[in-house]
Amino acid sequence: MNNPSSLNPLLQPWATPHGLPPFDLIRPEHFEPAFEQAMGEQRKELDDIASLKDAPTFENTVAAFDASGRLLAKLEGVFHNLCSSETSPELQAAQRRLAQPLAAHNNAVYMHAGVFARIHDLHERRQGLALDAESLRLLERLHLDFVRAGARLQGEAQKRYAQVMERLADLHTRFGQNVLADESSYMLELKAEADLAGLPGFLRDAAADAARVRGLQGHVITLSRSLIVPFLTFSERRDLREQAWRAWTSRGEHPGETDNRAIVREILALRSEQAGLHGHRCYADYALEDTMAKRQSAVMDLLSNVWQRALPALEAERAQLQSLKATMGQGGDIEAWDWRYWAEKVRQSTYAIDDAQVKPYFSLGRMVQAAFDCARRLFGVQFRHRPDLVLYHPDVKGYEVTRADGTLVGLFLHDNFARPTKRSGAWMSAYRMQSGLPDGRGLDRTLPIIVNNNNFAKAPEGQPTLLSFDDVRTLFHEFGHGLHGLLSSVRYERLSGTQVLRDFVELPSQLFEHWMSQPQVLQEHARHVQTGEPIPQALIDKLQDARNFGQGYETVRYTASALTDMAVHGLGAADLPEDPVAFEAEVLKRYGLPAGVGLNHRYTHFQHLFSGSSYAAGYYVYLWAEVLDCDAFEAFKEAGDVFDPTTARRLLECIYSAGNRVEPGQTYRDFRGRDARVEPMLRDRGLIPETA
């Protein structure tokens, strides 16, 4: 009789280039039996560690724990990435069924009394163990992982904690699937020429392709950001803009199967209980304990500082919009579905910049090469396209990443286009993390497989996809995360790549954004899609002049979302809202969110907060990291060269390759020679004068 595992490609050696998953062989039904075997293997590994007769040592306990669960990590890399990037009803069903067992397994791992006892013993004696800095960091991080996962809880408290975490895993999965269902089911069909009024050619082409993918004629606007935002920016049809805006902002708030309101309420209650079991008054206190910020007061000081500076900037922008609107003979207030439209009109009239004029210089292919070239000049790595690789979707491109001497660094997958089977947003993830562990294929180390996901609107077949300036920023942002994963150089997987404190993880990504707007980068790579001519210096100057226009609007929208996050997660159990949507509105009213602006994310589709816990009480981290990234880029300005080799080498060693082997405050000081200052960020956003 055949062994079922012999028929499951997930459980066989992957005879693929560089150990890529055999995407063409994997089916949704393969995951559950594979996970069952992998979880069993790791439980046995942990039991073996706990049952050792020898006294605990770093190697037989801490390093052994870091090396455990290799098959499980391999499977999770494939499963979670496919669920996000190329899902299906069958895969979503498997995701729902596996949410609870995987959470239960995680509880079993981090509540394993025998393993924790050995780690705790070593932690108590850590100063006398003569460990090198990275090994000591691993011991301290693993001990904290166990403690924060409930290892110190006893009896019924630990049992209840496990139940809470398993239920949260199920709710996070349901929340994300509901948002995807609302996004993928919505279509604004533009059936007549009048419906297309004001839409530039690139947007018409993208809307036509969106219709084609869905088997429709004509043009379709979906809730993909790369379609909905330009539609709100250019459409002359105010009625259709309102219709699209209301659909975009009400995701997850429709009665029926995809309603996220009750899910948000239950997640908040369970998180409050989780924090209480750890002895904290509220979830924000628990979440911030393991961050650079540490306290709500530190977060609120930053948010309040920026909020108070952004509101006047926003009102100055509103005055410009209202003035132009009146000049064009149109009265009335500017509503949320009007703001981008009139901002674009101001941009065109005041700064002589038209996105339709700019976009032909920013084709996706050239901007990818720009990002690759910046990485080469800064860090000495090169990207070689491998069209022969079998990947999970025809749109995905694979690249070998090498150093100048040909040494392989890892694999990079680029998944750039929106589709109904892919969640919204942009993100970096890993199929395999870098480490010094043997890779099981003959190498004495494990090389990373990193993926960047974007959701750009794909141009029709045979035409180049054109990006907005904001799209290019997104591309560089996610590529910065990708480099953080690819360039990692640590011994232990737990300390690898992006596994750093949450308010530090956005530093490498946001810092890399700075290079996309440098004149020498634009002059070399921003070339007209038809003529090949470089972008004119006059247009670069206009882009630089206009860069702070709209910052009041963007800053208020971002900060409003961060404030609602901190407000709801800062509540004690007795104060949690019965109606989170009403509470959100009350918070925005209390802070004085101006009319007609809106915010980046509302609770019912705020995936940062409710599709997982990584950014819960943590949406502030983008601003926190922006303080770091703007201050860090000043180091290159001070060196007189944005590609200064000495500064770039220090950046690689201290930030991009260091992972979590050094405490983040210290690793920043190692790079900069001091702590970060807030003024460069405020200047960069135009919230204080350049001379301040």
3-state class of 27 per DSSP? coil
Q: How far is CA 676 from the centre of its chain?
A: 23
User: Is the CB of residue 412 less than 8 Å from the CB of residue 398?
Assistant: yes
Number of Cβ atoms within 10 Å of the Cβ of 370: 23
In the block, tokens 């060693």 appear at 653
Beta pairing, strands 381-385 & 219-221: unpaired
User: Six-digit token pair at 209?
Assistant: 């392709």
User: Is the CB of residue 81 less than 8 Å from the CB of residue 121?
Assistant: no
3-state class of 197 per DSSP? coil
For residues 277-313, one letter each, b for 16 or more C-beta atoms within 10 angstroms of the residue's C-beta and e for the rest, the string is bbebebbbbbbbeebbbeebebbbebbeebbebbbeb
Residues 152 and 65: their CA atoms lie apart, in Å, by 18
Residues 389 and 392: their CA atoms lie apart, in Å, by 10
User: Six-digit token pair at 595?
Assistant: 């009319």
Catalytic residue numbers, as ranges: 478
Closest of 479, 494, 622, 498 to residue 559, by C-alpha: 622
Number of Cβ atoms within 10 Å of the Cβ of 193: 7
User: Is the CB of residue 488 less than 8 Å from the CB of residue 657?
Assistant: yes
675 burial class (0-12, 13-18, 19+ CB within 10 angstroms)? exposed
Residue 89's alpha-carbon distances to 94, 180, 269, 395, 531, in angstroms, are 9, 12, 29, 21, 44
Q: What is the DSSP string of 457-522?
A: PPPPTTSPPB--HHHHHHHHHHHHHHHHHHS---SSGGGSTT-S-TTTTHHHHHHHHHHHT-HHHH
